Chain A
Amino acid sequence: MMLFDRKFAIAGRIVREVRRDRRSVAMIIGAPIIVMSLIGFSFQDQKSVLNQVAPALIATMAMFFVFVLTAISFLRERSQGTLERLLSTAVTRSDLLVGYLAGFLLFALIQSIIILMYTLFVVDVDYAGKIWDIVLILLMVTVTSVSMGIFVSTFAKNEFQVVQFIPLILAPQIFLSGVILPTSQLPGYFQAVSGVLPLTYANRALRDIMLRGASLSDVLPEIGVLALFAIGMLVAAAATVRRT
């Protein structure tokens, strides 16, 4: 029990902090709905384009919001001295990482389900696969994104600097992972770059599941690569999590 107590406490604290910030809660729920409405209703007469873009957009949103939330809250831990205080206790790297992951996974899960349901049933995007398969892929994106947020926050001294990382980290993923243009139509050097972006594999897996009705076993290679990204980012986050 002792082994998990600190992890539970950190996750619980994060949930409580975010929940108390009502404007943030409204943004977590409202912003993706607004963006999906904007895109969805703009492409209403071009259903095939919308169907093609929707899976990638769902993954991008899951990555974007969780990355921003984690990077900023972890930066606050560092800049307000709470991380230093935490590290003077018996807290371990795994307490911090698991606690943060669990705390943000809850919001990511809620957000992903809201985005997904809204996209499928309100914007009326066609889908063929199982909803929980889609949620699983989104959760893998979230784990990568939380770890990336912790890792990136190490390199920022203030919230302004963290915001500068958003286009730097997310723009290449949006442009090069197949959200806008299929990766096969990108120049050769950008195709190479797209091969090292987690969103590329999330997009592929989600398109296969949503458009072609693929099962998880059909997208195992993508799941494997996403798992490697998640583990890699967790290792990077673990290496820097104690820096204050």
Chain B
Amino acid sequence: MPDMILIMASSARPIKHTDCNNKVELEQVNDSVIGKGPAISISGLEFAFGKRPVLTGIDLVIPRGVAFGILGANGAGKTTLVRLLIGRLKPSAGTALIFGQNPGPALAESVGYMPQLNALYEALTVQENLDFFARMLGLSDAKQRVRAVERAIELVDLADRADSVISELSGGMRQRVSLGAALIHKPELLLLDEPTVGLDPELRNMFWQHFKEMTRSGTTILISSHTMDDAAHCDTLGFMRGGKFIATGTPDELRQSTGKPDSTLEDAFLHLSQKSVASA
């Protein structure tokens, strides 16, 4: 049995309403859809590509209003877990519920997803991409959508490039547009698959400022990453190895698991990883 430090993060914080009409409307819609339970509850989850198991025995509960980081090496199963949570893959066994429901289109207005690839339309401008994804996410009212696009552009600090086509943007700018597209409808849950890969420290810091503001206002964020820099910003972490969580807890608790003072999260990850190999 691998080391398991299961720490439940603090209970959900209330959602603060903003002065944006769109937000109020979305929350009215979402409230009826998403209920009151935890943001994510995963139980006995297993997934295999053919005969190759990718995820085994995942149990996890993520309360609302926290930033939960999935940390693990490449191939640990992080992206597969995120894809299960957006409903693109179906579990081989067990359940993965979002707001108490199976992932799918009914939850689309409550969930924002930023894929690993930027996944934007290269020939369209920043504004056109955001407007398009806003429509796909159900913002059919043109006035509301204009406000939502303006707000997203402002949030990712690309007002001066709003009319630039994506193919003219740097990698970091594309990441920012991709983030804008994920949060344009003010989702209650944001699923981010390696959102900070390739970002310079300044941009990474800017992303985290946004994420923290969002969790403060009640949004739940699940972020997959393999950099310890991201890990330190999360409220709660899950270390993944070989398709399962080898430990979960707050960054401090995980650091302490090494039993040595001044341990870094990287030390903790390596320590717990070795321990899980030894006990396997």
Contacts and interface: CB of A to CB of B under 8 A. Distances in A.
Interface of A: 1-2, 5-6, 9, 13, 16-17, 20-21, 80-82, 84-92, 244
A87 B135 contact: no
A87 B88 contact: yes
Contacts of B109: 90
A5 B108 contact: no
B132 A21 contact: no
B258 interface: no
A2 B135 CA distance: 9
B88 A81 contact: no
Contacts of A20: 123-124, 165
Interface of B: 83, 86-88, 105, 108-109, 111, 113, 115-124, 128, 132-133, 135-138, 140, 165, 181
A244 B116 CA distance: 14
Contacts of B108: 88-90
10 contacts: A1-B140, A5-B140, A6-B136, A13-B128, A20-B123, A85-B115, A88-B86, A88-B88, A88-B108, A88-B113
A90 B124 contact: no
Given A20-B123, A87-B88, 17 more contacts: A5-B140, A6-B136, A9-B136, A13-B128, A16-B128, A17-B123, A20-B124, A80-B117, A81-B119, A82-B120, A84-B115, A85-B113, A88-B86, A89-B105, A89-B133, A90-B108, A244-B88
Nearest to A16: B124
A85 B140 contact: no
Contacts of A81: 115-119
A9 B138 contact: no
A80 B120 CA distance: 8
Contacts of B105: 89-92
In the A-B complex, the 9 residue pairs with the smallest Cβ-Cβ separation, listed nearest first, are: A81-B119, A81-B117, A90-B108, A89-B136, A9-B135, A88-B113, A85-B119, A5-B140, A88-B86
Contact of A90 (B113, B123, B138): B138
B117 A86 contact: no
Contacts of B137: 89-90
A154 to B, nearest CB: 15
Contacts of B140: 1-2, 5
Given A20-B123, A85-B113, A85-B115, A90 B128 contact: no
Contacts of A88: 86-88, 108, 111, 113, 115
A88 B119 CA distance: 12
Contacts of A5: 135, 140
B220 to A, nearest CB: 16
Contacts of A6: 135-136
Nearest to A85: B119
Given A13-B132, A16-B128, A90-B108, A84 B88 contact: yes
Contacts of B136: 6, 9, 86, 89-91
Contacts of A85: 113, 115, 119, 133, 181
B203 to A, nearest CB: 20
A168 to B, nearest CB: 27
A84 B84 CA distance: 12
A242 B121 CA distance: 18
Contacts of B117: 80-81
A226 B116 CA distance: 42
A10 B115 CA distance: 20
A17 B135 contact: no
Nearest to B136: A89
Contacts of B138: 2, 89-90
B88 A17 contact: no
